[in-house]
Homo-oligomer: A and B are copies of this chain.
Amino acid sequence: MGHVFTIAWKDLRSELRTKESINAAAAFSMVILVLFSFVLDISGDARDFGGGLLWLVFAFAGALVLNRSFAREQSNDCLDALVASPLPGWALFLGKAIANFALLGIVELVALPVFGILFNANWLRFPAWTLLTCALATWGMTVIGTMFSALTVNLRLRELMLPVLVYPMLIPVLMAAMQLTTALLVGEGITAEDWIWVKLLIGFDIIFTSLSLALIDFILVS
């Protein structure tokens, strides 16, 4: 486990020192928010879209953070240095995923209040559930994002392939998160009907985390 924290700490430190991708992600999320509000013509009852919109914004803005994760290793062939070291592949993956989770969490923490103000949304109606939903969905995004970032890091057409592969895989998480968030924002909280989405999120997180940990070693060695 020491290795995992070494890697997570390294990533967090390099990112927090410059805050480049966090800032970009925060800025980008505002931009998308503005774009979407034009489309939806916020005047009317846009509140119903709240949950959906929020997670779209997170997905697009979060991609900026997740892409940087392995791109950072690429610039000086750092990934080779790590792979040649005694660091196990799963520790590398887990460390990066934890760092990304924390960074996405920060972006969300910035975006949520803004979002709340713009859309008159009250996040504190069901605080525990809201936190749980965010945590589960963000971890799902992180795992898929980190894994595909690793998959595509050495590809010539990385910039093209990443969105084409990542977003469809993310759709289950995003849909569940959207549904739950909307229920938490404007509905009566998590009802029996929404349970399927909670289960979907949990199942998704477990399945993809284990798949990633099992498969990462095949990706890193060329």
Using CB atoms and an 8 Å cutoff, list the residues of chain A in contact with chain B: 20-21, 24, 27-28, 31-32, 34-36, 38-43, 48-49, 51-53, 56, 59-60, 64, 67-68, 71, 75, 156-157, 159-161, 163-164, 167-168, 171, 174-175, 178-179, 182
Cα-based distance from A104 to B66 in the complex (angstroms)? 27
Report B-chain residues with C-beta under 8 Å of the C-beta of A174. 35, 38
Structural contact, B27 and A164, CB atoms closer than 8 A? yes
Question: Interface on chain A toward B: helix, strand, loop, or mixed SS?
Answer: helix
Question: Please, could you name 30 A-B residue pairs with CB atoms under 8 Å apart, sorted by A?
Answer: A20-B157, A21-B157, A21-B160, A24-B161, A24-B164, A31-B163, A31-B168, A32-B167, A34-B171, A35-B56, A35-B174, A38-B52, A38-B171, A39-B56, A39-B178, A40-B40, A40-B49, A40-B52, A41-B52, A42-B48, A42-B49, A42-B179, A42-B182, A43-B48, A43-B49, A60-B60, A64-B160, A64-B163, A68-B160, A75-B156
